[in-house]
Amino acid sequence: MNTYQCSHCGEKFESESGLSDKTIPCPHCGQLVVLPSSNLKDGAVIGGFNIIRKIGEGGMGSVYLAKQISMNRNVALKVLSKNMTGDKDVIEQFRKEVQLSGKLEHPNIVRAIDAGETEKYYYMAMTYVDGEDYQKALDRKKVVPEAQALNSVIKIAEVLSYAWEKHSLLHKDVKPGNIMINRKDDVFLVDLGIAQSFDFKKKDADGHAFGSPFYMSPEQAQRLNLDWRSDLYSLGATLYHMTVGLPPYDANTVSTIIDMHTSAPFPEPKTRNPSAKLSPDTISLMKKMLAKKAEDRFGSWKEFIDSANAVSAVLKKAPKKKVAPNKPAAQKKNGERFAIFALLSGVAAIGIVCFIIAYKFHVNNINNKALAALQKAENYLSKFPGDYDGALGPFGQALFMSKNTGHHDIAQRRYAEIKKMAEDKSEKLRYFDKKLDEAQIKAAEKQYTEALEILRGIENIDDSSRRKTIGLLIMEIEKIINEQK
């Protein structure tokens, strides 16, 4: 089995070895994916570059560590899959990637330094970063220290600001896997493969909402016109994942994750990871970055960077030293001692009373907050009936906040009920997606009657977007069948 990455939804999946140069449907989003060609052997030479070893793979090809023979330096060599070299659209996209990457000059960006083609291959050489991407760091450490994550995000924000303000460029796929850190802790932004110039076109020609679903802005998911604030949202989702250890939204299907980005409330870090310990300032920063409406985010890259630097400065401040109390006088007269004892006794009594009052107020406050969280969760479910995956966040927060209160039992019961409903719905959607894949394969093989039969069996799915997709497919296949009669 080999591992591949879908060029449409960004999800990874496994497929049988020996299927290189084949086209199969992605098990996550259903879109057709061309599997990259077989690996180049170590020591092979392409256009003046000596292959050392393979270091990565994507939907369009593979990336190798290579030696540029003329300059005697290491580079990252991206080689387009052989089966794609006959597709004019793919070649055009590849050339565009070279042009976009080559015109950017910033110390924190991985850029193209050479490109060309041979009889069999199209290739692009990029600056090589001797390090790893943050996704690998997250897989190993599970979480990145708050101060380090924030500083890295600030550096990437400066790169994105430069790309937008100087070249009107959007990245459109900001995520931990596209942020690299070298052995000196320098940070770099990589992969401009799906970047686009805002001057060229505002939507992709094939209608796909490119990017990873875990970090995709609501407007990108809905295929609306984009500006720099879309990258800001993706950067916010990236910061969330780095500091919390999990992306802000997760579910069993890509469509559900995208729906959560569009409508689900901001998930408090504690609800996603109870051990997460973030400063209120960082959480507030992320909330604004992840605002559903673009106009509710920061007004400019500079405004965000200034705000992030202010939060970073607070995190760097050393804790204040405690001042040691003065030692009492060595000797006191008996009358003075008695007066002090009486005064302290009175103060202690007042303190105890104040403590009891404060404790009762604290308990009432916790109970009220727990009840409010539970009501908020129920309101979410009333507003978005059937969105059990999205409701898990609010109910999880209610469960966390109701701990040691009289509302804990009902919060626990409701969370278990919603989780069960979410799992049941996810199972139905997985079955739907599986049958949809089967129907698409049948249609691709021109077995239209069998494809139509499969689609008829799942057309009543309890999901509006899927029902719409099924309806359109059925209409198209029926039209083809009628034309063949």
Paired strand residues for 182: 131
- Of 306, 289, 169, 283, nearest to 229 by C-alpha is 289
CB 23 within 8 A of CB 32: yes
Give the angle subtended at the CA of 49 by the CAs of 48 and 50, to the nearest 5°.
125
Identify the helix (H) or strand (E) that includes residue 289.
helix 280-289
Indicate if the alpha-carbon torsion angle 262, 277, 282, 150 is positive or negative. Answer: negative
The residue written with tokens 């070649």 in the block is 91
How many residues are recorded in the chain? 485
Q: How far is CA 123 from CA 20, 89, 418, in A?
A: 18, 16, 50
Paired strand residues for 115: 124
Active site residues: 173
Residue 482's contacts (CB-CB under 8 Å, 6 or more residues apart) are: none
Q: Rounded to an integer, what is the distance from CA 274 to the centroid of its chain?
A: 19
